[in-house]
Amino acid sequence: MKTEILFFNGWAMDNHAISHLADPHYHVHIYSPHETEIREPETDYILVAWSMGVWAANRYLRSCQHAPKLNIAINGTPFGIHPEYGIDPILFQKTYEHLTPEGMKKIYHRIFYTAEQKDYHDLLPSLSFETQKNSLAYLLKQADSTDNSITQDLLSHPQAWDYAWVSEKDSMFATKQQLNYWHRCPSTQTNVINAAHHLLRSFSSWSAFIEEHQA
CA dihedral defined by 84, 179, 92, 147, rounded to 10 degrees?
A: -50
Q: Give the C-alpha distances (Å, rounded to integers) separating 214 from 7, 113, 210.
A: 18, 29, 7
pLDDT tens-digit readout, 50-93 = 999 999 999 999 889 999 999 999 999 999 999 999 999 999 99
Tens digits of per-residue pLDDT, 172-197? 999 999 999 999 999 999 999 999 99
pTM (2 decimals)? 0.94
Q: CA Rg, the chain, in Å?
A: 16
Farthest CA pair distance, the chain:
47
Confidence bin at 147 (pLDDT 50/70/90): low
The answer to whether the Cα torsion of 170, 52, 40, 21 is positive or negative is negative
Instruction: Indicate if the alpha-carbon torsion angle 175, 176, 177, 181 is positive or negative.
Output: positive
